[in-house]
Structure 1
Amino acid sequence: MSIKHSLLALLQSGPMYGAQLRQEFEHRTGGTWPLNVGQVYTTLGRLERDGLVETAGMADEEGRIAYQLTGAGENEVLQWWSAPVGREQTPRNELAIKLALAVTLPGVDVERIVQTQRTATMTHLRDLTRLKRGADGEDLAWELVLESLIFADEAEVRWLDHVEARISRITPTRAKASRTAPGATAEKPAAHEGVTR
């Protein structure tokens, strides 16, 4: 998630201070990705250093400093709107990492991990679906975020089904190989075995 570009995009609507930016971001994304106000100010500091934002006048009576876009900042946002979201760096997926490790380490019950995750994902999917049913169509931004989360959960369930199918095909082969002592000959498979399309 690009906090940098999100803050720049919000500043297109006018000067804001850090807490306002945090509030606007969370409001517009339905609170799905909460921001720490310290993270907002750290990002604003970097944006100011890079010449993309500048302070908008003096601090107010509470000591808050508003920021506004510079010309370079406006150009940066326009480029962000017109460019696709890059896939150069694959974001870390904790579940994929967990399962990749599980299938390569001895003594891990991969099937149980898959079942536990499927149950949790299905529960989350039901909760999201309830929220979607309760949406009144008035908050398009929130509904788009919600639908993105629903599609992601549905894809995760399909992937978990795929993982389970792959594991079930591999596990009997591994078990058979481990039962065969070194130097012993394995039973010859029946003629129909191993013929798949």
Structure 2
Amino acid sequence: MKLLIKPILLALTLGTASLSAGLFEGTLTYEVKSGNDVQEVSFLVKGNRMAIETPANPRGLVLLNRETMKAQVLMPQQKMYIEVPADKFVKNAKQKESGQFEVTDETREILGYTAKKVIYTDGGETSELWITDELGSFQPLEGPLSGETPAELLNAFPNGGMPLVIRTSGKGRPTEIVVTAIKAENVADSDLEVPSGYRPLNLKGMALPGMP
């Protein structure tokens, strides 16, 4: 999960886009590569709620609720779950990014949607983002770009945007996040809730792996 959350939040949390513009509802699947590590991550999204699934072994599933700012980590094998504040999944979640965004005029079609190229630079790290404004907004958490949204992004994506490709190079291992499937559909509330029969697990102050 740690491999995924930081770079995706950087691009997906484009400030507080207007809800009247419509939030995305359906399923998004991304392939995430970092060095030689590859994983597929699916997002089931409805309004301010979502489920993040990593189909690795063991299967991982996290339910997030932006309204309550709670996250529930499901453990299907044990039929148990852990509830924690959602911002625990992002270190320094309230800090603003110190880099600069450059919105270019270059566009390309990705899975039938027109995306615009955005360059983000921060010290020795550069990210190439391809963002579309044809799918509404996808904002899983109050992440690194919470608070004041950079004017460059507000002007380019006044109704919010959704990144379809993210490539980062420079410091550390290069990371690539590419959308492989987009399915706009109605999502049942039950798919974003803890299943019946699951018991809560009390951590008693213990931290989950990958959490600060």
- What's the TM-score bracket when you normalise by the shorter of the two chains? under 0.3
TM value normalised by structure 2: 0.20
- In terms of fraction of residues, the more strand-rich structure is 2
- In terms of fraction of residues, the more helix-rich structure is 1
Relative CO higher for 1 or 2, CA cutoff 8 Å, sep ≥ 6? 2
Larger Rg: 1
